[in-house]
Amino acid sequence: MSKFAKHNKEAAEDWLLSYADMITLLMAFFIVLVSMSKIDPNKYEQVQAGMAKDIGNRETTKPLQDLRSELLGEVAGAGVEDSVDVGKDDKGIVLNLASGALFKPGSAEIRPEIMPLMKEIVGTLTQQRFSGYQIEIQGHTDDTPVRTQQFPSNWDLSAARALATLRLLTELGISQQRMKISALADTAPRVPNRSEGGKPYPENQAINRRVELHIYPR
């Protein structure tokens, strides 16, 4: 190869160095962004699916969306949409179970009427594709003080209900290694318990008395 041809070949390939530098800088930029941000699995799943379809012309699995759809179908099939709903947060899926539907009044005793739905929910959560998901069980109350011999405070009631839910899910087939519980009493209401003047909102208080199942990838 002549010196002139060799020089032309090297000149023609100079753009590869600039391109490689640009790719390296972009990679470093995205690594910094990821390290500084809190990843929302739901949004990540949607973006991943969109990119795969638009760029790669292929479909990807969407386990969180599939899980939410299945749970919504089970709630609708049981006809309990007024007391059980399925939402999502920045970690995954949130299943809200009203205490009135799950427990007998003022207790942590599971209502037998809710068992068919709970069996359906456990049947979904124990599927192989969802077996790697963690389940956090949160007990919540409204702001009405609880002072009974069995439950001296709202903390005791919310803890007992979270624990009763964990035991139920364990009996129905979910490994305890996948679960953890927390008691929040009245510290995390979904809606205001009272007006600014202190007047109670009974409907809102009923919404705030609940157990939440937070389901998310480990």
Which of 17, 40, 38, 36 has its CA nearest to residue 28?
A: 36
Tens-digit pLDDT profile for residues 117-145: 999 999 999 999 999 999 999 999 999 99
In this structure, the number of other CB atoms found within 10 A of the CB of residue 149 comes to: 5
How far is Cα 203 from Cα 209, in angstroms, rounded to an integer?
A: 10
Q: Give bridge partners of residue 217 from the DSSP assignment.
A: 133
Write down the pLDDT at residue 48: 47
Tens-digit pLDDT profile for residues 138-180: 999 999 999 999 999 999 999 999 999 999 999 999 999 999 9
Running DSSP on this structure, what letter comes out for residue 114?
A: G
Which band of pLDDT confidence, cut at 50, 70 and 90, is reported for residue 23?
confident
State the helix-helix crossing angle for 14-36 and 3-12, rounded to 10 degrees: 20
Reported as half-sphere exposure (CB side, CA atoms, 13 A), residue 70 has a value of 17
Range list of H helices, the chain: 3-12, 14-36, 41-54, 63-78, 99-102, 115-125, 154-171, 202-208
Tens-digit pLDDT profile for residues 93-113: 999 999 999 999 999 999 999
Which of 61, 74, 60, 77 has its CA nearest to residue 213?
A: 74
Running DSSP on this structure, what letter comes out for residue 151?
A: -
Write down the pLDDT at residue 62: 81
Q: Which two tokens stand for residue 46?
A: 């949607």
Backbone angles phi, psi at 70, to 5 degrees: -65, -45
Write down the pLDDT at residue 176: 96
